[in-house]
Chains A and B, each alone.
Chain A
Amino acid sequence: MMFSSPTYVYLQVSRKCAACALECYAPPDGASLSQKEAFSLVDLLWEAKVFTVLIDGGEPLLWEGIAELVEYMRRKPMVVGLVSGAEDISQAEALRNANLNMIQFPIEGPEEYHDSIRGEGSFQRTLEAMKTFCDLDIDTHVGTVVTPQNLSYLEATSDIVSQFSVNAHRILRYIHPTDYLGPDQCMDLLSRVYDLKKKGRNIIPNNCYTFLHLTPYKERINKNAFQGCVGGKTSAMITCDGYVVPCPHFASKPLAESIDAPVIWDSDLKTIWKEWDFLNAFRKGLEGCQSCSYCSLCGGCRAAAYRITQSLDLDPGCPLSKK
């Protein structure tokens, strides 16, 4: 079942943020969408009947006119979420008035570890942001990027998050050429996430752990709804340079250019979605997964494969990749 265009798009408004110690998928380089480009993109997305948009960065809360953009999208009426680093929450009330549906903030671990990644004072600033948005009744989520360095802090991080009325604690996968979780670490992580879930924690591994069905967490998966990687199936990302890429892990300019990503201003979204060779290969699943009986369910994390092996061959984090 192939959709005629994505139903869900990540829109990167800028790559401006306070640089952090994690080598993220969109290192800050100062690039940004103009307001005119952003509003025009929203019109293009709505014309293609894209229903849900997640505004990403950089730090979207530093983008001038962010509340006006959210309000414009909500009036379409799109569902709008925003991924923030909690660098500036002065627009919180304006975002509530704009009817923002959801916001996500990062907690990388306990205070000392978090600040070592995101800068002195960042942990307390993030807690204040979480409280502010929860108090404004905006659906607030927390994202934790799990690396080999903070893997041991999972339970402590969950304890911190559980003190707030956030609706989801998302466990995100660190996609990096060398510093990534191997199969045994992924299994350990997802077993512990499952244990926390059993304790009643609202903790959710994201879809980049495409092999969830091979871990103890499989008991919590809705088998009728689980899709593994959704890049190229239901979602895509548009970077602030206008590149259309399969997922946020390709949101830097060099990575977008390395896959010859088409530019949204040069072609329409439906044509790109249907005809771009890389995206067609992406949605089929990894080469090394084609003979796996789980391929249609999973297909591996294409971004992990690409970042680590520079190809769409094999996801080195998958437990079956060891065989």
Chain B
Amino acid sequence: MIPKQREDVICREEDFGAIIFDPGAGRMHKLNKDGFLIWSMCDGTMDVSTIAETLSQKEGEELEDVREQVDAFLKDMDERKLIGWL
């Protein structure tokens, strides 16, 4: 499964992470730095395992823990309809 940001949503990078604006719903969603990092990797080229491995190496954290974090984040983004799946 490859997550991909919805093409019409707009991301504004901030010191605390980012704001994702969904123009269809007229809603904003705040991401912290970790969330923004995962969001940035949802460009349609990496599957979930690759995202978790990349993040684990970058942050120096256990893969299992990072995978849980990535799964939870993507579930949340999916529920908010901000990503699709390829």
Contact = CB atoms under 8 A, between A and B. Distances in A.
Interface of A: 1-4, 7, 49, 51-52, 77-79, 101
A99 to B, nearest CB: 11
B26 A101 contact: yes
A49 B11 CA distance: 9
A127 to B, nearest CB: 27
B28 A7 contact: yes
Contact of A4 (B8, B12, B21, B26): B12
Contacts of B15: 2, 4
Nearest to B19: A7
B16 interface: yes
A3 B23 contact: no
Contacts of A1: 16
Q: DSSP class of A's interface residues: helix, strand, loop or mixed? A: loop
A1 B19 CA distance: 12
Interface residues of B, number: 11
Nearest to B17: A1
B26 A49 contact: no
Q: Which 3 A-B pairs have the closest CB atoms?
A: A49-B12, A77-B23, A79-B26
Contacts of B72: none
B59 interface: no
A200 to B, nearest CB: 25
B14 A52 contact: no
A49 B10 contact: yes
Interface string B37-51: 000000000000000
Contacts of B12: 4, 7, 49
Given A79-B26, A101-B26, A51 B14 contact: no
Contacts, number: 27
Contacts of A51: 10, 19, 21, 23, 28
Contacts of A79: 23, 26
B81 to A, nearest CB: 16
A48 to B, nearest CB: 9
A1 to B, nearest CB: 5
A17 to B, nearest CB: 27
24 contacts: A1-B16, A2-B15, A3-B14, A3-B19, A4-B14, A4-B15, A7-B12, A7-B19, A7-B21, A7-B28, A49-B10, A49-B12, A49-B19, A49-B21, A51-B10, A51-B19, A51-B23, A51-B28, A52-B26, A77-B8, A77-B23, A78-B23, A79-B23, A101-B26
Contacts of B26: 52, 79, 101
Contacts of A78: 23
A161 B45 CA distance: 52
Given A3-B19, A7-B19, 13 more contacts: A1-B16, A4-B14, A4-B15, A7-B21, A49-B10, A49-B12, A49-B19, A51-B21, A51-B28, A52-B26, A77-B23, A78-B23, A79-B26
Contacts of B16: 1
Nearest to B14: A4
A75 to B, nearest CB: 10
Interface in B22-78: 23, 26, 28
A306 B16 CA distance: 31
Interface string B1-18: 000000010101011100
A79 B15 CA distance: 24
A1 B8 CA distance: 26
A79 B8 CA distance: 14
A208 B28 CA distance: 22
Contacts of A2: 15
A179 B8 CA distance: 47
